[in-house]
Structure 1
């Protein structure tokens, strides 16, 4: 059995390159080959009637084990269960540390990944992403006493940030001059207590995840920075680059779930009544000079 956790994400993988040459007939053959490859993953999952999905199981409230329970749940998990059900398939979750999730797609161990994965232009070159199922932005956990000496993002110079080694949040920290202390697949109390006791100064992560982590552990003397909201984000399901038909089926299902209110219902269940499936109204700072 596992406890609730706050964990972080980022990703890398390879792209499919098709070459066409010669006559019109060659071009048609290349088009047929491309179509076949784009349908291959969909055909594969249809035949086995099962979606194998990578997730961490430690990211509260997206993918986690409730206290005293051995059943995986969370916003992302329940969205994926609903998608699989509407596609007439079973779903099997495979758990990996955040830095291993995308490698699992590359190796073919999973068909897709759902774990609050942020969509970036660089990653879109290497993966297929569904339409977003969650919209958010980044915030910062700091000590209650003095806000860890941070008034603005530029004050991260010389500070120590806790996080995963290959996450967007780590990149933001480094961009502003912070040192990043990395962790394995640990639960959120480890991160928060390190900020409280001064081993680290801050944690940058998703607004919804950090808000709920603080609510779950009110005894730890840390807080969300009241003035810093930055880096608007979209989270989506990640698939192999060439899985066009699978992506289409997933997007069609997500659209149905958005229109019939299912995404809103699941979000409010896991995000304290808030609808993370819709874009926030707040003014969010874009970070310039950082290619994510």
Structure 2
């Protein structure tokens, strides 16, 4: 009887040990695969200035804040970085399908996304602003005035959710460049674009001939941007976080940010009075 009880206990202990090993192997599988290949495949849009874009007159050398951060992470981990371009709405599905190992494209960390994906520590802190027509601010004085307006954006972005939350219709686009969005606001096809403060500020600076502007009074929804990975890629997540922490401590994140954000450090939390949006389920 004692031998049977001992055998039963050993079986339970073995089962727990095997389960633990299986879990560890699963979280490390993605990193082992990447390390063996010596290459990490990263999804990005290539059309999001200044996070991920091609310099004017070049269609060969992708660059940007996010792109150069990813290249630096690859260098420090001894990996070649291969970029694959997708529209914003296609990046998360590309991770799920295994077509890419991770995505970096000013992707906001949300509770809903964390149910399906793993995120690195944030490499960028910001908040949302709104591009409107220059002559009349598109008839918008407060966020509640979005009711009945048309907002340009990607279908599955957080910014589209904010627009819908306040009653706007969202006009969606494929993987198009900033000038397409801005000219649609200028000519009245849309009324506004909600997006990141840093990205919108620099987009306007790069396209000064388009008669649109940042809304002078609306700053809302503080954000954290991070690298997105498969949910079970625990070891990969750890490696990326360790590298990002090194880059933060040695000033590399600040240096890259100032290069692409007009001397501003987007790697640190902004000191601004920013409106939190109540009831927004992200």
Specify the SS of the correspondent of 1:174: helix
**Matching of residue 59 in structure 1 with residue 48 in structure 2:** yes
**Matching of residue 258 in structure 1 with residue 248 in structure 2:** yes
Partner Cα distance (2:170, 2:99) in 1:
30
Give the corresponding residue for 1:285.
275
**Matching of residue 191 in structure 1 with residue 166 in structure 2:** no
Give the corresponding residue for 1:114.
104
Match of 1:34 among 23, 29, 33: 23
CA drift of 1:145 comes to: 1.1
Would you tell me which structure has more helix in proportion to its own residues? 2
Partner Cα distance (1:212, 1:35) in 2:
43
Partner Cα distance (2:75, 2:123) in 1:
17
Partner Cα distance (1:98, 1:163) in 2:
10
How does the TM-score come out when normalised to structure 1? Answer: 0.91
How does the TM-score come out when normalised to structure 2? Answer: 0.95
CA RMSD of aligned residues (A): 0.9
Partner Cα distance (2:154, 2:111) in 1:
20
Query: How does 1:262-273 map onto structure 2 within 5 Å?
Result: 262-273=252-263
Give the corresponding residue for 1:153.
143
Structure 1: 5+ residue stretches without partners = 1-21
Partner Cα distance (1:182, 1:133) in 2:
27
**Matching of residue 178 in structure 1 with residue 178 in structure 2:** no
Query: How does 1:40-189 map onto structure 2 within 5 Å?
Result: 40-69=29-58, 70-189=60-179
Residues paired across the two proteins, number: 271
Partner Cα distance (1:112, 1:238) in 2:
5
Partner Cα distance (2:273, 2:116) in 1:
30
CA drift of 1:25 comes to: 2.2
CA drift of 1:23 comes to: 2.2
Partner Cα distance (2:163, 2:169) in 1:
7
Specify the SS of the correspondent of 2:53: coil
Partner Cα distance (1:184, 1:202) in 2:
17
Give the corresponding residue for 2:196.
206
